[in-house]
Amino acid sequence: MGLLSTITAPEDVRRLGPAQTRQLATEIRDFLVHNVSRTGGHLGPNLGVVELTIALHRVYDSPRDTLVFDTGHQSYVHKLLTGRQDFADLRKRGGLSGYPSRSESEHDVVENSHASTALSWADGIAKANEIGHHDDKHVVAVIGDGALTGGMAWEAINNIAAGRDRRLVIVVNDNGRSYSPTIGGVADHLATLRTTRGYEAFLAWGKRALQRTGPPGRFAYGWLHGLKKGLKDVVAPQGMFEDLGLKYVGPVDGHDVSAMEHALRRAKTYGGPVIVHAITEKGRGYIPAEEDVADRFHAVGKIHPETGLPVAPSRFGWTQVFAEELVEIGRRRPDVVAITAAMLHPVGMAPFAEEFPERTFDVGIAEQHAATSAAGMAFAGLHPVVAVYATFLNRAFDQVLMDVALHKAGVTFVLDRAGVTGADGPSHNGMWDMAMLRIVPGLRLAAPRDEATLRAALRAAVEVDDAPTVVRYPKGALDESIEAVETLEGVDVVARHTPGDGTSAPARVLVVGVGAMAAAGLAAGESLAAHGLAVDVVSPTWVLPAPERLVKMTGDHDLVVTLEDGVVDGGVGAMLAQRAAAQGIRTPFAHTGLPVEFLDHASREQIMSAQRMQAEDAVRDALATLSQE
């Protein structure tokens, strides 16, 4: 049965002795490798926080004390220690979320999968505890060193430091990585701290030496204090934190439960904001992850647990096409530079970085800075390509609007994993971008449908030097190529169906398949034609702003059917209908897209079915609309 099966709540963890905690850590690692290899999920981060999380639950009393994880994908161990040990359907519909989830447990507070937010949450909770006179409650925020590269974290630290009497502990889980090795000044500072562990040991030695020589007098105390002050900046430059008013404990071995407990108990007694600096190793205890330099085990699909190799090799995908085309563009265009926010490998910028390291900038988890820095580069004569997951561009909307678009900066944003992504839950679906960006003046957005249109869209985007451009594409393998039968002023017609018996003209339907929904548009067109309708299926690559020819085409049909993998309210279809109405076109529309709501984790196919986003759904809505006309 093992110890893990006996853990149903944190109090069970607190009853264990030192040898038992070590045994529990081993069992948890075995459990994670065995289970996550079957379902996929964030393996590396959780292997790195096993002892740290055990120590947290031994020192603090969750849920009375509030534990917040940043980023939330390192909460699997926390789930296990709070009674959630059924990982069979992890990240699947009906199973455990891959992030903290309030619906799962009272021990989960922040459902966070966008980084650098936990310290602000902790600050707010600590302030509420203070106002409510809950002096016996503590707040602990576990934040990775990668998340500390986000500006919001430092806004929070600035405010946390002002609350000198608030019981708030920041545990910095320092493994030197986010998705990739952590970069920047903060990373350099933490790296310096990692290499200066001798400071605390030296002071302890000095105190012991004084104790051995009898009652220390004023001279001895002065000697020790002076030596401490003189060596502090050289041996332990934690002054950056202490100068802000934050006490600092560490560095401490995050894989030593006893050491972590000791550090956390020290922090708990201070009665004010404290930073506990824990050194951990991502992927700890799993040899394939420990030996991997590309960080392939940050998040995995189904893998063979013995080797770490994928069960099903990934097919040639959208990200790889972008990676190849960007390198080709970089060879022709020395002014093109690459920017990403701590996701060099996931978004496909690593090949460009290998060939053009001096033209590649990983800014850390700082999407706002990435966008505005890109505007500055554009002003100075470069053409930046900023690649992020679609869900993360939300964080930089103000910068896209006011720094890039307002200044007519030629910046290209590439949005990977646009549309429905599924397993990572509500915060990771890239469903907001088209509705959000359609209100940005001058911005042009492309939604390619296949490899050829992706390459063409990227080449066209970097030629625009007086406005922001956006190229979005979905997660995963490439769709089959869809050739245009005709191109009308930039609008690709991908199918024409002209059924009819010759005695009467059939109703004419225009089907607009946006990007990854082009294949569904083709299927819908065929089905509508089988009902005796004349159907034109189009898939415009550039959808924002609405192409003038596409607007005109809506007036040549009796019904327009739009399919898009974004929110339907305010999306591309809604914009097209609005533009048509503004020109006096009264053709009815039937829209297929996502609702304005947060979608629970499930597979992409399950979400598409549940949200009525398949071809047959569009057909039913189209026929119902026609029957009402």
Could you read off the pLDDT of 63-75 as tens digits, one per residue? 999 999 988 888 8
Instruction: Assess whether 395 carries a catalytic annotation.
Output: yes
Is residue 282 among the annotated active site residues? yes
**pLDDT surpasses 90 at 390:** yes
> Is 145 annotated in some ligand binding site?
yes
The band of 175, judged by pLDDT with boundaries at 50, 70 and 90, is confident
> pLDDT per residue over 258-297, tens digit each?
999 999 999 998 888 999 999 888 778 676 666 665 556 6
CATH architecture of 318-472: 3-Layer(aba) Sandwich (3.40)
Q: What is the DSSP string of 284-351?
A: TT-HHHHT-SS-TTSSB-SB-TTT--BSSPPPSBHHHHHHHHHHHHHHH-TTEEEEESS-TTTTT-HH
Determine the Cα–Cα distance for residues 351 and 342; give it in Å rounded to an integer.
15
Marked catalytic residue, from 58, 92, 282, 444: 282
pLDDT at 620 over 90: yes
- The whole-number pLDDT of residue 178 equals 47
Domains 4-196+237-290 and 486-628 share a fold: yes
Question: What digits encode the pLDDT tens for the residues 544-578?
Answer: 999 999 999 999 999 999 999 999 999 999 999 99
Average pLDDT, the chain: 85
Could you say which of 51, 261, 325, 367 is catalytic?
367
Which secondary structure element, helix H or strand E, spans residue 448, and what is its range? none
Give percent above pLDDT 90 in the chain: 55
4-196+237-290 CATH: 3.40.50.970
- Residue 584 is assigned to a ligand binding site: no
- Say whether pLDDT at 223 is over 70: no
How many percent of the chain have pLDDT more than 70?
A: 83
261 is in an annotated binding site: no
Q: Is 557 assigned a ligand-binding role in the annotation?
A: no
pLDDT reported for residue 206: 54
Q: Is 367 annotated among the ligand-binding residues?
A: yes
Provide the residue ranges of all domains of the chain, joining segments of one domain with +: 4-196+237-290, 197-236, 318-472, 486-628
Higher pLDDT, 20 or 243: 20
Task: Judge whether 459 counts as a catalytic residue.
Answer: no
Please indicate if the annotation marks 502 as binding a ligand.
no
Q: What are the tens digits of pLDDT across the range 339-389?
A: 999 889 889 999 999 999 999 999 988 999 999 999 999 999 999 999 999
> pLDDT value at position 580?
96
516 neighbors 553 (Cβ within 8 angstroms): no
In this structure, how many other beta carbons lie within 10 angstroms of the beta carbon of residue 15?
Answer: 10
- C-beta contacts of 342-346 below 8 A and 24+ residues apart: 342/146, 342/149, 342/178, 342/179, 342/180, 342/182, 342/183, 342/366, 343/179, 343/180, 343/387, 343/388, 343/389, 344/179, 344/180, 345/179, 345/180, 345/294, 345/295, 346/179, 346/319, 346/389, 346/416
Query: What fold, for 486-628?
Result: Rossmann fold (3.40.50)
115 annotated to bind ligand: yes
Q: Which of 29, 395, 417, 444 is catalytic?
A: 395
- Alpha-carbon Rg for the chain, nearest whole angstrom, is 28
Give the per-residue pLDDT at 394.
Answer: 93
